[in-house]
Structures are given as C-alpha cells and as structure tokens.
C-alpha cells in the first residue's frame, strides 16, 4: 500500500479532500475543502499491518461516499485552483473534462465531455477543467458561473455545449488570471 493516498470528492456542490498517510504504525488523516488547510488527526494503530488495514477501511468508506483517488500532483493542482478563486468566492465543483469541437444542431461548437477518474491521466485526451465559482455579493443573491478552461483560455458555459469567451467586464475577471494560471498548471 502507498504511504500516502489522496482522495477527492467533487460530486454536486462538494469540493473536498481526504489524505491518508501511513508512517510505520501511525495513520494520519487530513481532510477539508480543497484550497484550505483542513484538519489532521493521527492515530497509532500498534503496528504497520494494523495501520494499513485502518487506512484501507477509511479509503473504502470514502469511496462509498463518492471520493476517488488522484495523484499527489493532481491534488496540488486542484488545490491551487481552489485557492486562486479566493476565500471571498467559493469554488463549488471542479470536474475534469475532455475539451474539443463538437456538432450541436448542425453547428460546430467548442464543448466538453465529462471524464471518468481513470481517464484523467490519458495523454491522448485534450483534458480541461469545468469549474463552478460562486461570487458572493453582500445583500443580494450570489451568482454562480460555470467556467471551462482548456489550458489557455477561459469560457463561460451554461452546462451545455454553448461556450463563449469570458467577457472583460465579467464579475469573475478580477480572479480569472489567478484561476487561469492555476488551471494551466493543472493541465
């Protein structure tokens, strides 16, 4: 068993992580929202076998709750994206997608298709990220924007194949360069 396992849950409005580290007989569980430090708890399981058994049980429990395993590099990149959006705004959902041209009603459009966790590292796919960002506004209802990043550009989307470049006066533009830099590193 690997000494460190990175898990994320990005279903619905969740954007959570869970890291399990085994060090001899000790198991450290580290959890929270992507982009924040989170909490840690270390337990001593008595020996290495018990530590690995406890870690496997936790991994299986988290998998039943929608978590899936990613690499440390992917975890660092997702965390950077969440941090780039800032704490005033909330990144609610980060999904890996394959980005490309598609036919929609006889028109060719720039669109995406959701990827399964095992497809994320496929070098043959043009992998992008779909990110929901909640813009918090005092005294009025929050706005949620779904943004598609292809490694170079950002597009606003309506969760269909209708994508348009993000406008200069878009409320997210104040953070877009930071998010784009983090996304570029993630891809």
Q: Which pLDDT tens digit goes with each residue over 84-110?
A: 665 555 666 777 788 777 666 666 666
Between residues 186 and 54, the one the model is more confident about: 54
Residues pairing with 27 in the sheet: 22, 43
Q: Is the pLDDT of residue 177 over 90?
A: no
pLDDT digits (tens, 9 = 90+) for 145-169: 777 777 666 666 765 444 555 555 5
Q: Is the pLDDT of residue 172 over 60?
A: no
**Residues 134 and 144: beta-carbon distance below 8 Å:** yes
Mean pLDDT of 46-65: 96
How sure is the predictor about 20, in pLDDT bands with cuts at 50, 70 and 90?
very high
Q: What is the domain partition of the chain in residue ranges?
A: 4-70, 86-186
Q: Is the pLDDT of residue 28 over 90?
A: yes
Side by side, the strands of the sheet bearing 68-70 are 39-44, 26-33, 16-23, 4-9, 68-70
pTM for this predicted structure? 0.63
pLDDT score for 170: 53
Q: Is the pLDDT of residue 40 over 50?
A: yes
pLDDT score for 50: 96
Mean pLDDT of 123-142: 74
Between residues 80 and 174, the one the model is more confident about: 80
Domain 4-70 has CATH 2.20.140.10: yes
């Amino acid at each position: 068993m690997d000494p460190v396992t990175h898990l994320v849950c990005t279903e619905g409005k969740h954007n959570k992580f869970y890291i399990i580290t085994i060090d001899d007989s000790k198991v450290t569980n580290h959890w929270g929202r992507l982009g924040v430090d989170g909490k840690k708890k270390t337990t001593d399981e008595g020996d290495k076998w018990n530590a690995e058994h406890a870690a496997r049980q936790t991994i299986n429990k988290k998998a039943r709750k929608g978590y899936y395993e990613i690499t440390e590099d992917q975890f660092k990149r997702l965390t950077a994206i969440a941090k780039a959006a800032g704490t005033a705004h909330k990144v609610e959902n980060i999904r890996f997608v394959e980005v490309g041209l598609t036919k929609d009603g006889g028109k060719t459009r720039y669109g995406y298709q959701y990827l399964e966790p095992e497809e994320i590292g496929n070098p043959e796919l043009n992998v992008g990220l779909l990110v929901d960002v909640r813009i918090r506004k005092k005294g009025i209802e929050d706005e949620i924007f779904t943004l598609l990043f292809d490694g170079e550009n950002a597009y606003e989307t309506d969760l269909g194949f209708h994508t348009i470049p993000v406008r200069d006066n878009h409320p997210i533009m104040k953070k877009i360069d930071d998010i784009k830099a983090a996304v570029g590193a993630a891809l």
